[in-house]
Amino acid sequence: MCKWDLLTFKDEALSQRGWTFQERLFSRRNLLFARDRVYFGCGTSFISEDGIELIDVLKADHTNQPPHRLITDQRIDDGPVPPENVRAHWHELVTLYSQCKLTYPADKLPAISGIAQEYGKLLGDTYVAGLWDGSLVQGLSWQSSEECTAVSEYRAPSWSWASVDGPLCMCSVTTEPIASVMGLHIEVDGKNPYGRVKSGWIKIEAPLVPLVLSGDNSLLMVGCIGLKTSDEEENCLSGRFDTINSQFDDPAETIRAMKLFGLFITDFSLTPEEPFYFSLLLTPTGDDLGVLKRVGWTLGRESDYGPLDLRALRSIVTLV
């Protein structure tokens, strides 16, 4: 666990609000009134009212560097923070931020726009609806939870974490991209490139595989679904719909009638002997099978997909 996880106070009321998340990170000094006692935090220490120092953040290394130090200092003792660590921190921040609540759902991107702007300076990268152009393929591999819900009005492209409400996980481990981004476009609502988004698309080249529901979820984790490359295939891979009830209580027939595809984007393999892939679960937006939207994600070993030649299955599609 990252050391600064101890300082998030996620069970406190203010820590559960979206706008205060950003305000805490920008403040060089915080006086926090928690349920049990008062805490003081700054760039050098974090102390409770009875004088107990919870953590010495100055001793934190690159991987445990608190986000507010990255924003306010931009350097630590042994030089600039490596970009890969800045990106990993961004992913951890988004994971925490996704647990926060907003009175107005349209504020999802604006409420974190100040942080995004500062991280953009650190990375020297272009912001893409909550993700970064320089690591866009890895950024696409966010994982929704069973608590995620759909939003009533358009807020972000389906491939952005900002398109759903609820806890999710942004991957902070190193992954090998399988997909290649061929082009992208984002139309922002106003002049702030870190604020609200009107529309957006990504043109991406990657292995694209038709998938069908397996019908047998008995061996899967709660909230997950089983998927196969064909009805005849014995092996099953695990997946999750982003916002559709995965237990199929109401929309069962609608879901079973959907055309589903898996778009391989990253390789999570820990060893070369057993490739392990993350795929976006997609469905066409209309009659054009080349324009798709994200509806979920899948994880599986190479053997779970059956005898497939991924290189022969590469396609160019547009994600909206």
Residue at 194 is within a domain: no
| Whether 224 and 114 share a structural domain | no
Tell me the per-residue pLDDT of 50-71, one tens digit each, with 9 for 90 and over: 877 765 443 443 334 455 555 5
Residue at 108 is within a domain: yes
Residue at 167 is within a domain: no
Residue at 172 is within a domain: no
Tell me the per-residue pLDDT of 132-159, one tens digit each, with 9 for 90 and over: 999 999 999 999 988 888 888 999 999 9
Lowest mean pLDDT among 2-6, 106-110, 240-244, 299-303: 2-6
Residue at 177 is within a domain: no
Lowest mean pLDDT among 81-85, 187-191, 244-248: 244-248
pLDDT mean over 76-97: 79
The pLDDT assigned to 251 comes to 55
- Domain of residue 289 covers 203-319
pLDDT at 274 over 80: no
pLDDT band at residue 10 under the 50/70/90 scheme: low
The pLDDT assigned to 169 comes to 92
pLDDT at 94 over 80: yes
Radius of gyration in angstroms for the set of CA atoms belonging to the chain, rounded to a whole number: 21
Residue at 306 is within a domain: yes
| Whether 9 and 119 share a structural domain | yes
pLDDT mean over 231-257: 69
Q: Is the pTM of this model over 0.85?
A: no
Mean pLDDT, the chain, integer: 80
The last residue of a domain, from among 108, 125, 142: 125
Q: Which residue has the higher pLDDT, 252 or 205?
A: 205
Residue at 250 is within a domain: yes
The last residue of a domain, from among 99, 125, 151: 125
pLDDT mean over 171-193: 89
The last residue of a domain, from among 125, 150, 181: 125
Number of domains in the chain: 2
Of 113-117, 144-148, 272-276, where does the model show the most confidence?
113-117
Q: Positive or negative, the Cα torsion across 92, 94, 98, 99?
A: positive
